[in-house]
């Protein structure tokens, strides 16, 4: 794990806070997170491409009710980290999508567990209103740490797996994954057609 990738994971964990916990300045959107993380790996074009593809592939998943969409930040971070490790982008992206989905499952579980802590923190603030800054800081810090650990583990496991797997992948699988990767934006655009009320004639 190079310092470059370590920094990427740390920045991704920070950007993930933008989803609900803090800021909410849309830095966690794929179209923004991708290029930002791409700058860290020295490949802005790959970051921009991954950001756009991530934005499109998850465009029809809305965070309504109990639905927690896959994390665009995690998708971009894992994809670009794997690419920095030498994995082809068309393989790395699908691992990124898978890890984004797994992260949303883990996030849903953590939110349920965090609810008990929220009740405790609320009681602490009611007893001592001056503790609000410390409580909020601790909450954000713990969320950042959990994000960092999960993203770090995703990158580490996927990286080691792909290093082992890459020499075994046949040429036809490369072609198939490359084709599937290039189909991603078209699939994403197709999901937007009903959203904008467009109809094919």
Rounded Cα–Cα distance for residues 152 and 171 (Å): 30
User: Percent of the chain scored above 90 by pLDDT?
Assistant: 17
88: burial class by Cβ within 10 Å (0-12, 13-18, 19+)? middle
Instruction: State residue 1's pLDDT score.
Output: 66
Of the ranges 37-41, 63-67, 171-175, which is most confident? 37-41
Model pLDDT for residues 82-115, shown as the tens digit of each residue: 998 888 888 889 889 999 989 888 888 877 777 6
Please give the full DSSP string across 40-107, using - where no structure is assigned. Answer: HHT-HHHHHHHHHHHHHHTTT----TT--PPPHHHHHHHHHHHHHTT--HHHHHHHHHHHHHHHHHHH
194 confidence band (pLDDT: 50, 70, 90)? low
Residue 173: closest CA among 53, 88, 103, 104: 88
Between 100-104, 114-118, 139-143, the lowest mean confidence (pLDDT) is in 114-118
35 confidence band (pLDDT: 50, 70, 90)? very high
Where do we find the tokens 């994809």?
A: 79
User: Domain locations in the chain?
Assistant: 3-192
Residue 31: closest CA among 72, 74, 77: 72
pTM of the full predicted structure?
0.82
Is the distance from CB of 21 to CB of 143 less than 8 angstroms? yes
Q: What value does the mean pLDDT of the chain take?
A: 82
Q: What is the mean pLDDT of residues 44-72?
A: 80
Instruction: State residue 182's pLDDT score.
Output: 87
Rounded Cα–Cα distance for residues 148 and 152 (Å): 6
Between 24-33, 37-46, 125-134, 168-177, the lowest mean confidence (pLDDT) is in 125-134
Model pLDDT for residues 181-193, shown as the tens digit of each residue: 888 888 777 777 6
Q: What are the phi and psi torsion angles at 25 (to 5°)?
A: -105, 15
CA geometry: angle 45, 50, 55, nearest 5 deg: 130
Angle between helices 44-57 and 89-127 (to 10 degrees): 70
Contacts of 179 (CB under 8 A, 6+ apart): none
């Amino acid at each position: 794990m190079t310092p470059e990738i370590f920094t990427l994971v740390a920045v991704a964990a920070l950007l993930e806070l933008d989803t609900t916990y803090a800021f909410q300045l849309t830095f966690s959107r794929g179209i923004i997170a991708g290029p930002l993380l791409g700058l860290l790996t020295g490949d802005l074009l790959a970051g921009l491409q991954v950001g756009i593809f991530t934005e499109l592939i998850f465009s029809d998943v809305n965070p309504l009710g109990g639905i927690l969409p896959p994390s665009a930040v995690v998708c971009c971070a894992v994809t670009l980290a794997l690419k920095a490790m030498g994995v082809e982008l068309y393989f790395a992206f699908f691992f990124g999508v898978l890890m984004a989905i797994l992260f949303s499952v883990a996030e849903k579980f953590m939110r349920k567990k965090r609810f008990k802590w929220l009740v405790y923190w609320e009681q602490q603030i009611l007893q001592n209103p001056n503790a609000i800054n410390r409580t909020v800081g601790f909450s954000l810090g713990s969320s950042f740490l959990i994000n960092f650990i999960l993203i770090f583990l995703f990158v580490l496991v996927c990286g080691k797996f792909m290093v082992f797997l890459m020499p075994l992948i046949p040429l036809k699988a490369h072609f198939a994954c490359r084709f599937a990767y290039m189909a991603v934006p078209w699939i994403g655009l197709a999901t937007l057609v009903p959203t904008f009320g467009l109809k094919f004639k």
